[in-house]
Homo-oligomer: A and B are copies of this chain.
């Protein structure tokens, strides 16, 4: 983890309101793991006051160029400023931060993405492919235009779901997961789940996993101030259990966590 100054290599709108920004980072920026995030200062001004956390969509090392990519939606002031940053602009970021996905050997990773939550899972799928590990990628979104990155998903089995049925299965990616689980005869000893998406979806998936004793890691989101475990502003509420008396900090004990112990109903 380091504070580094980076410059915008490119920043473009890939679909309505969704941007892909590529930032050149210096050598001192450590090689990130899928699921890790960067804490980005979107501009130089006092306002917006805080950095914004973003999962990495990818990391490139090509000759002298070392770059990270972030796939983001414009939802408020910070992301609005970020969307306006043009090629060549200097921004600074702290990263890579947090704990990423930790696939276990000899299990089939089932990646379940909801909407823009696809970003860290794309990163993960590329790593799996580099290591020639087969995987399953289930991707649900509102409509086909929101299915960012599908063409990049190679080396794995891909199933799509859209709410409007414009492509793939018409319905929730949760249905895809249920079908995949029974259809492919996965068991908690042969497969595990990695997921990212809206909290409602993650909640449902973690219920699914807990009921069946499946290992399930989810990438969480929530407001952050410091991003490095100092301020204790990003507590993750846990379900009753051995650890439930404390609040792990999402930024250092996450953002990827065992989904089955998170108390989703109390997460902002």
Contacts and interface: CB of A to CB of B under 8 A. Distances in A.
A21 B45 CA distance: 23
Interface string A21-53: 000000000000000000000000111000000
4 contacts: A45-B47, A45-B77, A46-B47, A47-B47
Interface residues of A, number: 4
Interface majority SS (helix, strand, loop, mixed), chain A: loop
Interface of A: 45-47, 77
Nearest to A81: B45
Contacts of A46: 47
A139 to B, nearest CB: 36
A47 B46 CA distance: 10
A45 B47 CA distance: 10
A84 to B, nearest CB: 10
Contacts of A77: 45
A3 to B, nearest CB: 25
What 4 A-B pairs have minimum CB-CB distances, sorted nearest first?
A47-B47, A45-B47, A45-B77, A46-B47
Contacts of A47: 45-47
Nearest to A84: B84
Nearest to A77: B45
A47 B47 CA distance: 8
A214 to B, nearest CB: 46
